[in-house]
Structure 1
Amino acid sequence: MEAYFQLAFPDTQMMTVVVDEDFMLSIEAVEHILKYNFFDKSLLAAALTHSSLNDSPSYQRLEFVGDAALGLAFANFVYITYPDLDQGRLSLLRASNISTEKLARVAVRNGLFHFVRHNAPSLDAKVNEFSLAIKEEEESYENLAYGGKVKAPKILADIVEAIAAAIYVDVKFDLKFMWEVFSPLLEPIVTLENLKQQPVTMLYELCQKQGKNVDIKHWRRGENNITNVFVDGKLLASACSEQKETSKLIASKAALDKLLMSESMLIKAEGSCELLNGVEELTVAKQKLIEFCGKKHWSKPTYRVENQEGPSHDRKYICMVEIETSDCTYKTTGKVKPKVKEAENSAASMMLYNLKDTKFAA
């Protein structure tokens, strides 16, 4: 049994949406999730139809409207909720709540993809991979609004924006009414208090209190964005992801965890490193690092002079060591030394102590 809805587009002829019995059940299920019954069910039918299905209007036009309507509705919400908040933090709150990553998680949490009509089998695998990744990350992270290890498929955020637009049009473009219906879907909403607990913010605040300097460096390798977090010149954590913000978040979280775990361990590690700054460092550090990389089946460390100091007759050197793995690239620098070989060995020593507390130490 099929039903026929008439969906009007202002700049085109009236289009017919064919809805079979199964899809009608999907529409009713989404209405139940929203706790809202559409006056014009063709709007929701279009919002749940992917462009790969050629015989019905897709969600593309609605997604365009939903992106703008949702952005304005949330801007109104935070503007009223936080009357004294500056523009920068208002923007952060909006980005945290209606980013592609956050909206994709809204779609997964509410099972919305299950109700979407499409003719693109590859989407199922991508959404399933993302859904499994969310289950894993939610065990470790709370309120991960900026993304995780698996990039969110854009279709998930598009669905949410299209549904928001469908409500917006159905309530005659009443933005306040639309927000009242749609906002429960966004729960839990990232608040100012939650935002302060984001790893990047917490890392900077903790290091500021401890008088430490944080340096977060990014670069690209192929399709991956790689982030290294240095605290007082020491490589504390590294991460890579297709998305720059994701790699930054994961690396910052790892660095923060290490700092919070035990400051006494960091002090002890720094003290131990000082003990290897003498003659022993010259004979064992580089060789030990080669052996370490060999056990992990990594490429051999490479060295380069990062900086030179002093006049030509009293030149001193700082060297950087770099290790490439199948997932990431690790870099760190050593201390100032009078010879290049000593500077390389100092860098090797720092790398060994930076790596010994990571997951690769075992």
Structure 2
Amino acid sequence: MKEALEQVQRIVGYTFQNVSLLQEALTHSSYTSAASYQRLEFLGDAVLNLAFTNFVFLTNPSVGPGALSLLRAANISTEKLARVAIRHDFYRYLRRNSSKLDSMVKEFADAVTKEKEDDYGELLYGGNTIKAPKVLADVVESVAAAIYLDSKLDLAELWKVFRGILEPIVTAETLNEQPVTHIYHLCQKQGMSIEFKSWKEDNKSISNVFVDGVLLGVGFSEQKHIAKLNAARDALLKMCHDEAVDMTVVECSSRASVISEDQEEFRHLNAELVKKVYADGREEVDLSKQRLHKLCSKKHWQKPIYRVEDMQGPAHETRFICSVEVVRDQETLFAVGETRSRVKEAENSTAYKLLCQLTHFNS
């Protein structure tokens, strides 16, 4: 164990004053002869989240909260942290006693080696066909907590060490649109129909995407939503080679630029609505979805389309980020909302963001 502790300290570039903290961080619950990393993982999840939130907030002064949430999810999600653990070989130094765990990690590690290094979308939306074993993200978070405690709760010191560990960091410039949303936008722009069909077969989820009735993409995974993402990626890859298709990727940092209507005229037409949205705080925000629907009806626009862009956290504490799009006069309005504990609240949040965009206010 001494050699493992020394090696991990070299990897992270930090020398522990209390090496027993690192030893605990590198002990899985299947290894019953010593205390496991479970308490440290709990702390590490929180402090790593806060450290990265500080970083992304301060380095992106012009980026809105929806895009900031997506950037945070892309950089410290289970998918990303699992890849960090593989890249730095943390699992090799983890004390454990589970052949099943070893098999799961090996399968995932083999799949990761086949991924494109610059495919940041897989870090945020799910990668390949293999689900990232949670143990990999757990050990990264546990090491983060160990450093945080050893440095006497110095968050700046933790980030100084961990920024390099998390490289490459996904930025607003490299974060692309969610694949399913992207292909819907692309087909809508080209006037093509699109349909996803999904089913289960031999404990695998399979998804096909049809564009104008033609099978264009196929995806499969243990998880239904990743199978759908993989099908969308497959279809987009094929469409990318079709010269008749304009593959313009809309990045998070440019989503707010879709509004082109004269702002003064629009603000005048909807002044009453905006005052109601802002007047009473959260209670009024909860009505944003209804207000956006009413506005679309009044202006004879298409009904708002809501989608879940991302899900964060464990199954019993899942949090959601939703998007909304509204088509008016051949123009697509798009917004991404805040992270919320229920889909309904996430939809209200993104409706509120779109209303704010339409009136040129900052939310």
Trace 1:46-61 onto structure 2 (pairs within 5 A). 46-61=24-39
Cα distance, 1:53 vs. partner? 1.4
Cα distance, 1:197 vs. partner? 6.1
CA separation of 1:195 and 1:245: change in aligned 2, threshold 3 A: farther
| Distance in 1 of aligned mates of 2:120 and 2:176 | 13
Contact preservation (8 Å) 1:228, 1:237: yes
CA separation of 1:71 and 1:119: change in aligned 2, threshold 3 A: same
Matched, 1:86 2:64: yes
Cα distance, 1:164 vs. partner? 0.9
Matched, 1:180 2:160: yes
| Distance in 1 of aligned mates of 2:120 and 2:42 | 30
Residue 261 of structure 1: aligned partner: 241
Q: Which runs of 4+ in 1 moved over 6 A?
A: none
1:247 to 227, 241, 255: 227
Cα distance, 1:222 vs. partner? 7.0
- The two structures have a TM-score, normalised by structure 1, of 0.61
State the identity as a percent: 51
| Distance in 2 of aligned mates of 1:246 and 1:211 | 26
| Distance in 2 of aligned mates of 1:148 and 1:178 | 31
Q: Map Cα deviations across residues 291-322 of structure 1 (whole Å, 9 max, x no partner).
A: xxxxxxxxxxxxxxxxxxxxxxxxxxxxxxxx
1:235 to 208, 215, 223: 215
Contact preservation (8 Å) 1:147, 1:245: no
| Distance in 2 of aligned mates of 1:36 and 1:139 | 26
Partner SS for 2:66? helix
1:41 to 19, 30, 33: 19
| Distance in 2 of aligned mates of 1:114 and 1:48 | 10
Letter in 2 for 1:121: S
Letter in 1 for 2:142: A
Letter in 2 for 1:136: K
* The 10-residue stretch of structure 1 (250-259 or 131-140) with the greater mean CA deviation from structure 2: 131-140
Residue 76 of structure 1: aligned partner: 54
Residue 110 of structure 1: aligned partner: 88
Cα distance, 1:224 vs. partner? 3.5
| Distance in 1 of aligned mates of 2:117 and 2:68 | 28
* The 10-residue stretch of structure 1 (105-114 or 165-174) with the greater mean CA deviation from structure 2: 165-174
Letter in 1 for 2:14: Y
Letter in 2 for 1:228: N
Residue segments in structure 1 that go unaligned for 5+ positions in a row? 1-22, 266-362
Q: Map Cα deviations across residues 92-127 of structure 1 (whole Å, 9 max, x no partner).
A: 111111111111111001111111111112222211
Residue 193 of structure 1: aligned partner: 173
Partner SS for 1:193? coil
Residue segments in structure 2 that go unaligned for 5+ positions in a row? 246-363
Residue 144 of structure 2: aligned partner: 164
Which one has more relative contact order, counting CA pairs under 8 Å at least 6 apart? Answer: 2
Cα distance, 1:165 vs. partner? 0.8
* The 10-residue stretch of structure 1 (83-92 or 194-203) with the greater mean CA deviation from structure 2: 194-203
Partner SS for 2:36? coil
Letter in 2 for 1:169: L
| Distance in 1 of aligned mates of 2:63 and 2:10 | 36
Contact preservation (8 Å) 1:143, 1:190: no
CA separation of 1:219 and 1:173: change in aligned 2, threshold 3 A: farther
Residue 253 of structure 2: aligned partner: none
Aligned CA-pair RMSD: 2.5
1:96 to 74, 96, 101: 74
- The two structures have a TM-score, normalised by structure 2, of 0.61
CA separation of 1:167 and 1:224: change in aligned 2, threshold 3 A: same
Residue 353 of structure 2: aligned partner: none
Q: Map Cα deviations across residues 314-351 of structure 1 (whole Å, 9 max, x no partner).
A: xxxxxxxxxxxxxxxxxxxxxxxxxxxxxxxxxxxxxx
